[in-house]
Chains A and B, each alone.
Chain A
Amino acid sequence: MERDGAGATGRRRWEQGTLRKALERQGERLDAFSTVSSLEVERLVTAEDRGASDPDRDLGYPGEFPFTRGVHPTMYRGRLWTMRQFAGFGTAADTNQRYRYLLHQGQTGLSVAFDLPTLMGRDSDDPQAEGEVGREGVAIDTLADMEALFDGIPLGEVSTSMTINSPAPVLFAMYLAVAEKQGVPLDRLDGTLQNDILKEYIAQKEWIYPPRPSLRLITDLMGFCAEQVPRWNTISISGYHIREAGSTAVQELAFTLADGVAYLEAGVAAGLAIDDFAPRLSFFFNSHNDFFEEIAKLRAARRLWARLVRDRFGARDERSWKLRTHVQTAGCSLTAQQPYNNIVRVTVQALAAVLGGTQSLHTNSLDETLSLPTEKAVTIALRTQQVLAEESGVANSIDPLGGSYFVEALTDRMERDAQAYLDRIEAMGGMVAAIEAGFPQKEIAEAAYRYQRQIDSGEKTVVGVNRYVQEEQTAVEILRIDAQVERDQRRKLAQVRAARDARRVDAALAGIVSAARAGENLMPRFLEAVKGYASVGEICGALRPVFGEYREVAVF
């Protein structure tokens, strides 16, 4: 207390003396300083601003509750984060080549990007797929494609992340079938499914069914994995897309954790024991330009989640309390103008993710505002991580910014503001009800619009866009997806359909429909169907009449 008093006196003396004189001579650059999310930033944070916090209670030690300083006791001294570049384009064979290249370059995990028809549960020969096949990710129709995708890649030795949501259980069943063919026992498989349908309604907008049946698919998968694929991360609860859709950092944090709460509730309601499935939930956050805000967000996320899962859901296993996360740098922060500047943005964002204590990281490539990245651009992005990991020294001490007055105060602030959102969502009846009411969607649209106005007016700077603009265009190489990909993929699908046992497929699809109606776990049914080479579109289509289709009320 005495020290606080002395601090307060010291601060008053500084404010009234040194600071006042300096401000009289020359004002500050701006009337008010704020983060990229418009959170006000104070001039100076000192020890007495931290008076109410208790380091033992609020920070703890690495690997201990509430994990503010990190989920692992040794963090990057023990093992560096996983460098995992998201990749997928063209046919399965094209993407398989890119995976082999990335593994050869020292990447330590795989991350599959599927094309839009696959994400929407539609086959490559669906009329709605026209023009989209293999463009934004790899086209997967049947098990034959999944076999080609992982050809020569031993699934027992890599960890694989799959960005797939509404049709996630179907694609996961294909992955399991490939593992089985490779002779890898399911309990040795390591990886993550995104499988986060709630953020689809909020932000990414690739859905098939309405929220409630979609949640049932998720609890089926969680139940199946708890028994048979225990090392698999069943949901990657994603703030990434929420941020990309234009949210603030606090909204990203709050809506993501609110989604997490909804999954915990759904699991418990489906009869699962919290400690049987909560340890397999992982997270996925964005890392935007505002360096300290991002670090504070990740630290606050861990503390909030730990307290929620332990205190509200009564989890006893400490693995349930740990928020393990993947981070991707912010695609929406990159510019088409002066694209080489993007390398610098990505470096700053990646550094924030590392100082925030991420478990794995994707760094965006400089050309992603123009097209999917070229191999050369991806290599620079991967090297950025390697330089941070092995040259910069930032991985050598755990949570090196812990105890910084500013970072701790900002962490507290993020936690407080996110909690206020969580309370509002709770009062609405939880996240599913809030989504059905359009609440997070509207909040994000507001924030996105505000930010665009700030850029248009010059209130927020984007280098090369609204300041330091250059007339000449910088030409960069880009990756082209040949229209031939779509024709080849359709032909391949037709061949698979012709060669398979049609009766087995029909029986499997009928089995899916009856199990869906009866409320049985659908995972074994999906496995049976994919092994018979039923397609993603056929399986998802079989469930449409049972589950219905989601329709968004579009507001702007």
Chain B
Amino acid sequence: METGGARRRRLRLLVGKVGLDGHDRGAKIIARALRDAGHEVIYTGLHQTPEQVVETAIQEDVDAIGLSTLSGAHLHLFGKVLEQLRAREAGDITVFGGGIIPDDDLESLHGLGVARVFRPGATTDEILRFLDDEVTPRHGTP
């Protein structure tokens, strides 16, 4: 269908629900859209601690983690994931996220190292474009 322009790279991605929040509509839609676009996608399932998400990311050797939380605990939970990634020398895994996130927190999340935040109304195409443009496979192109 699409010819020319940057070729889409196949990435290994982890979609993670972190914290006690059970809203998984968005996470599941994103996971499926990323898979349908040709990426390899692992979904953590619900109610994961930051430690569990990081463990899975390392075990699965992913290129990026998409975190979702709609409970308002994003600063704490996303921050923990990034902290743990760095502690385990996996700080090169890109972290992006989505959820119910107010304007004021966007800057704080960027400060913590979250590459991009997608909020209600974001399209799956925007997320795919972000991955194409800003995430490279950690172990070179397959």
Contact = CB atoms under 8 A, between A and B. Distances in A.
Interface string A105-125: 000000000001101101000
Contacts of A268: none
Contact of B21 (A116, A456, A473): A116
Contact of B29 (A129, A204, A244, A449): A449
Interface string B44-55: 111101000000
B22 A335 contact: no
A553 B72 CA distance: 25
A34 interface: no
Interface string B1-38: 00000000000000100011111110111011101000
Contact of A204 (B22, B28, B41, B100): B22
Interface in A350-400: 368-372
B110 interface: no
Interface stretch (A42-50, A131-139, A270-278): A131-139
Contact of A466 (B15, B75, B123): B123
Interface stretch (B88-96, B101-109, B130-138): B101-109
Nearest to B51: A127
Contact of A336 (B44, B45, B49, B121): B121
A166 to B, nearest CB: 11
A259 interface: no
B120 A206 contact: no
A246 interface: yes
Given A336-B119, A466-B123, A473 B20 contact: no
Interface in A435-489: 445, 448-449, 452, 455-456, 462, 464-466, 473, 475, 478, 481
Question: Chain A contact residues: over half helix, strand or loop, or mixed?
Answer: loop
Nearest to A451: B29
Nearest to B71: A136
B45 A554 contact: yes
Contact of A478 (B75, B104, B120): B104
B72 A369 contact: no
A556 B121 contact: no
Given A128-B20, A205-B24, A556-B28, A465 B121 contact: yes
Interface size class of B (residues with CB under 8 A): 35 or more
Nearest to A116: B20
A244 B45 contact: no
Interface in A537-556: 552, 554, 556
Contacts of B24: 205, 245, 554
Contacts of B76: 130-132
Contacts of B125: 456
B77 interface: yes
B102 A371 contact: yes
A452 B19 contact: no
B20 A120 contact: yes
Contacts of A554: 24, 43-46
A332 interface: yes
B101 A370 contact: yes
Contact of A135 (B29, B49, B71, B102): B71
Nearest to A466: B123
A253 interface: no
A206 B31 contact: no
Given A128-B20, A336-B121, A455-B123, 13 more contacts: A127-B49, A130-B76, A131-B73, A132-B76, A136-B72, A204-B22, A206-B20, A245-B24, A246-B25, A336-B119, A370-B119, A371-B72, A372-B72
29 contacts: A117-B20, A120-B47, A122-B20, A128-B20, A128-B47, A132-B19, A132-B20, A132-B21, A136-B72, A200-B22, A205-B47, A245-B25, A332-B25, A334-B120, A335-B121, A368-B100, A369-B100, A370-B103, A370-B119, A371-B100, A445-B28, A449-B29, A452-B29, A456-B124, A456-B125, A552-B45, A554-B43, A554-B44, A556-B28
Across the A-B interface, give the 5 residue pairs with the lowest CB-CB distance, nearest first.
A205-B22, A131-B76, A554-B45, A135-B72, A116-B20
Interface of A: 116-117, 119-120, 122, 127-132, 135-136, 200, 204-206, 244-246, 332, 334-337, 368-372, 445, 448-449, 452, 455-456, 462, 464-466, 473, 475, 478, 481, 552, 554, 556
Interface of B: 15, 19-25, 27-29, 31-33, 35, 41, 43-47, 49, 71-73, 75-77, 80, 100-104, 119-121, 123-125
